[in-house]
Structure 1
Amino acid sequence: MKPSRIPRRAVPAGIAALMLALAVPAPAQAEQAGGHTLPADTRFYVEPDSDAAKQAVRDLLAHNVSEAAAMARLATWPQAHWFTGGTPAEVEEQTRTLVRRAAATGTVPVLVAYNIPLRDCSQYSSGGAQSDAEYRDWISALARGIGRSKAVVVVEPDGLANLPSDCSPTSDPTGALTAGRIADLRYAVDALAQQPNSVVYLDAGNSHWHGVGAIAQRLQQAGIEHAQGFSLNVSNFLSTDRSDRYGTWVSGCLWFATKGPEWARGHADWCASQYYSPAAPNDGQPGNAVDVEDPATWHWTDDWFRQNVGTPPLNELTHFVVDTSRNGKGSWTPPAGKYSGDPQVWCNPPGRGIGDRPTAATGTPLVDAYLWIKTIGQSDGQCNRNIPGGTVDPEYGIVDPAAGAWWPEQALTLVRNATPALTFAPWTRPRLPGSTGQSS
């Protein structure tokens, strides 16, 4: 997932040439996020030197016009910038450069803090700070870099959903590592949310992971009350409607356990989940057995929330954002019997597509934004579908690029399978080489 450092130049010559040939971004002037809210008309920052923009130049120079146009369309849309390491001084400088560049275009950048110790259980995206103290110094520097600038910050994807105690039965025998992780996340939320114009979302995994009550408890422990809300589906492929529904339950559960009826205080664990119940009541209607893969069967959970949570005041509910960068086709289901072990459906699944466009005008009251948080076209890691001794990914017939490496073929597939079809962003207008028209 590691991105390149923020370039110091605004628009490289090659990118400028491509923009003249295919699409010219209009100078963005829109109302920005203020305070700790995210207005519906928020415009998000577009990096002019993104992987997609550079790939478009390479494709154009190779006379692959169709591929160049696909990458040029992708390059006009905002994506998050990941901060994954470096010294405190480096991350402070890089962050300040990014937020100032965004401010100059009247847009709001989306930042991802991804440097928690023992990151990703030492798997594909392993790494992170070497100690809690080192991490807190790093987070403080990131916060200083933001300063009074406007920014959306997603805090530690999978950091809360994949605690050290979750890594293996022996990974945290005393619980000290997990306690340190929770404390680090609380520190990060506090430090970032204290910046006057930052909008902070603590990551909460996805709808096919922890039950509603379990993740609500973790969010409470990690200080969700100091954040704007939580993030869902980062780097995953689950459909937007599933994420919206799951996130709404999590929000309702947080209210139930903190502001709801007295008998419910402190009992997020009582909330019904997307797995409720293993033996659902049989009412003779379709969907009488709950299946996490089939939201049509989630009506038992809806019923539980109607009966126990009701309709809390909207201003007392926690908001959230959803990563829609790769969920246009939903999640991948491999053919039955193809793999004997875990097929790693989350890892570079074939045939996926980009989902809903980035926007803060979602039309769903608790969803502050749909964002492209995972960098489209970057590999999830060297997946082998859990074939013993295997290094080749049988879905592609190659060894996949390392986690975070740019993979042009995957990027092209995601663009071509986008649902809805990917166009140039509305603040750009394609134009032919030699045209003298101005962008609008």
Structure 2
Amino acid sequence: MKVTSASVAAFAAGAAAAPSSNTPRKVQACTSAVTLDAATNVFTKYTLHPNTFYRSEVEKAVAAITDASLKTSAAKVADVGSFLWLMKTNRNPSDSIANIAKFDDAVADVPCENILGLVIYDLPGRDCAAKASNGELKYNELSRYKTEYIDPIVAKIKAQPNVAFALLIEPDSLPNLVTNADLSTCQESKTAYEEGVAYALKSLNLPNVVMYIDAGHGGWLGWDANLKPGAEELAKVYKAAGSPKQVRGYATNIAGWNSWDEEPGEFSDASDAKYNSCQNEKIYTTKFSAALQTAGFPTHAIVDTGRNAVTGLRDEWGDWCNVNGAGFGVRPTSSTGSDIVDAFVWGKPGGESDGTSDEGATRYDSYCGKPDAYKPAPEAGEWNQAYFEMLLKNASPAF
């Protein structure tokens, strides 16, 4: 296995972005309405907020650690900014209200210099090519998505005009329509995905919001045959929404494992490598942005570096579930060394499971039982203490 390295500047900036948890948290909210210019990189002005929900999870994890040195390092993770997932599951119908309500606590302690990252993630037929994170809404329940999910979030954001928000729109959705069109579940979900994302973009086009639509990663839409169709799919939905001005671009590697700039690339020796020139996310963002420009879609990106510190762990590009041996990557920073990439972010909260390894579970996905997946693992979204400690021990830069 290999430990990846981004630029020295990015590492230094990322490390500096994570102050000690012993530092008092000073909250000074903005005194006037926030207006974000999506034509600029807002992450040069705002710091990704360490949201209350992930902070609480980490603090509970710290309390469970007995090793003094590891405990000290773990405490620092609570101060790292990350995105809060506003998602529902199909395990508990009452979950919907509870999860949207996470917004209220999360927004209460955002200082004026921070931006609160939120993941919008509950399309009808969500994750049509996987089982671990299916949502509660069926593919034909688009009206519920609009009225019970998007509309309440819009109302909550409108009630907080003095807070800056960065929204990551529907991970895995549009990429699935490009590469999994042969699956009946994705065929059924196509209309709801496209109309649902367009509705979200149009409705959430608010002055204190900047939006990035998920675009998979270099091992997904980065294949030579997928770049153009992927760009056209994003552009199609963006235009259907009326080309909202608060859409800044796209997000890559969300909850993923790909290196930012490893050369020649993690799977460069694979037999099919000649069909994918995007062997890292730096190359992918360069090539995909070019395709997006042709298609008529904003070309800037954010890249998830939350768990990509160690490469050479997966058997295949598509192995996405609880990769064993992973480590926390570069902390959130706008110092990316790329004019295309606005920021490295933590999109997936490290320590929350990708899916259960219990083969008897209803939501069991075979990817979570593969040889390169960590076991045992709880249901998607649930905390895995041992996995969190592994991410911490393998972090680069170290905490």
TM range (shorter): 0.7 to 0.9
8 Å Cα contact 2:357/2:369 also seen in 1:
yes
The 5-angstrom pairing of residues 242-257 of structure 1 reads 242-257=280-295
Preserved CA contact (<8 Å) 2:216 2:251 = yes
Alignment equivalent of 1:151, drawn from 165, 170, 188: 165
1:413 to 2:396 alignment: no
1:171 and 2:185 are equivalent in the alignment: yes
Look up the match of 1:50: 56
C-alpha change, 1:390 and 1:406, in structure 2 (3 Å) is closer
2:201: which partner in 1?
189
1:97 and 1:250, CA in 2 relative to 1: closer, same or farther beyond 3 A?
same
Distance 2:371 2:151 in 1: 43
Q: Which amino acid aligns with 2:323?
A: P
* Matched position secondary structure for 1:153: strand
The answer to whether structure 1 residue 78 and structure 2 residue 81 are counterparts is yes
CA contact (8 A) 1:393 1:399 kept: no
Name the aligned partner's letter for residue 223 of structure 1.
Y
1:345 to 319, 325, 350: 319
Distance change (3 Å), C-alpha of 1:168 and 1:128 = farther
Q: Distance in 1 between matches of 2:374 and 2:199?
A: 43
Q: Distance in 1 between matches of 2:133 and 2:64?
A: 27
The Cα of 1:87 is off from its aligned counterpart by 8.1
Aligned-pair CA distance for 1:159: 1.1
- In structure 2, what is the Cα distance between the partners aligned to 1:231 and 1:127? 21
For 1:82, the aligned partner's letter is W
Cα gap change, 1:41 to 1:29, in 2 (>3 Å): farther
Q: Residues 51-101 of structure 1, C-alpha deviation per residue, up to 9 Å, x if partnerless?
A: 112211232xxx432332232021111111110136887666543442343
Shift in Å at residue 393 of structure 1? 6.0
Shift of residue 381, structure 1, vs aligned partner? 1.2
Q: Could you list the per-position Cα deviations for residues 217-246 of structure 1 after superposition, in whole angstroms to 9, with x for gaps in the alignment?
A: 110112174211110000110011321221
Q: Which of 308, 329, 342 is equivalent to 1:355?
A: 329
CA distance in 2, matches of 1:90, 1:119: 19
1:3-402 matched pairs, under 5 angstroms: 23-27=22-26, 34-36=36-38, 37=40, 38-48=42-52, 49-59=55-65, 63-85=66-88, 93-102=101-110, 104=111, 106-121=113-128, 123-130=131-138, 131-137=141-147, 138-147=149-158, 148=161, 149-163=163-177, 166=180, 168-171=182-185, 175=187, 177-192=189-204, 194-210=205-221, 211-223=226-238, 225-226=243-244, 227-241=247-261, 242-258=280-296, 318-330=299-311, 332-334=313-315, 345-383=319-357, 394=371, 398-402=375-379
Whole-Å separation in 1 of the counterparts to 2:367 and 2:134: 20
CA contact (8 A) 2:313 2:324 kept: yes
Q: SS of the residue aligned with 1:201?
A: strand
Scaled by the length of structure 1, the TM-score of the pair is 0.67
Per the TM alignment, residue 396 of structure 1 is displaced from its structure 2 partner at its CA by 7.3
Who is 1:281 aligned against? none
In 1, are the aligned partners of 2:51 and 2:106 still within 8 Å (CA)? Answer: no
Provide the secondary structure at the position in 2 that maps to 1:109: strand
1:114 & 1:397 partners in 2: Cα distance? Answer: 24
Does structure 2 retain, via aligned residues, the 8 Å contact 1:83–1:112?
Answer: yes
Instruction: Please give the alpha-carbon distance, in whole angstroms, between the structure 2 residues aligned to 1:92 and 1:413.
Output: 30
User: After TM superposition, what 4+ stretches of structure 1 lie above 3 angstroms from structure 2?
Assistant: 28-33, 86-94, 167-172, 388-399
Q: Which position in structure 1 is the counterpart of 2:91? A: none
CA deviation profile, 1:348-402 (whole Å, cap 9, x unmatched):
11111111110133231111111101010111113489xx999966557843222
Residue aligning to 1:308: none
Q: Which moves more between the two structures, 88-97 or 323-332?
A: 88-97
Change (3 A) 1:91 1:390: closer
> Is there any run of 5+ residues in structure 2 with no aligned partner, and where?
1-19, 89-93, 262-279, 360-364
- Aligned in 2, Cα 1:359/1:79: closer, same or farther, shift over 3 Å? same
Equivalent residues of 2:322, 2:374 under 8 A apart: no
Is the 1:332–1:350 contact (alpha carbons within 8 Å) kept by the matching residues of 2? Answer: yes
CA contact (8 A) 1:237 1:331 kept: no
Task: In structure 1, give the amino acid aligned to 2:60.
Answer: K
User: Unpaired runs of 5+ in structure 1?
Assistant: 1-20, 259-315, 335-341, 423-440
Contact 1:353 1:416 in 2 (8 A): yes
Q: Are the aligned partners of 1:164 and 1:178 in contact in 2 as well (CA < 8 Å)? A: no
Do the aligned partners of residues 360 and 348 (structure 1) sit closer, same or farther apart at CA in structure 2, a change above 3 Å counting? same
SS of the counterpart of 1:110?
A: strand
In structure 1, the residue corresponding to 2:199 is in which secondary structure?
helix
Normalising by structure 2, report the TM-score: 0.73
How far is the alpha carbon of 1:30 from its aligned partner?
A: 10
1:374 alignment partner, SS class? coil
Q: Cα distance, 1:416 vs. partner?
A: 1.5
Do the aligned partners of residues 318 and 396 (structure 1) sit closer, same or farther apart at CA in structure 2, a change above 3 Å counting?
A: closer
- Does the 8 Å CA contact 1:28/1:106 hold for their aligned counterparts? no
The aligned counterpart of 2:10 is none
The residue type equivalent to 1:162 in the other structure is: N
Percent of paired sites with the same residue: 27
Residue identity in the other structure for 1:136:
K
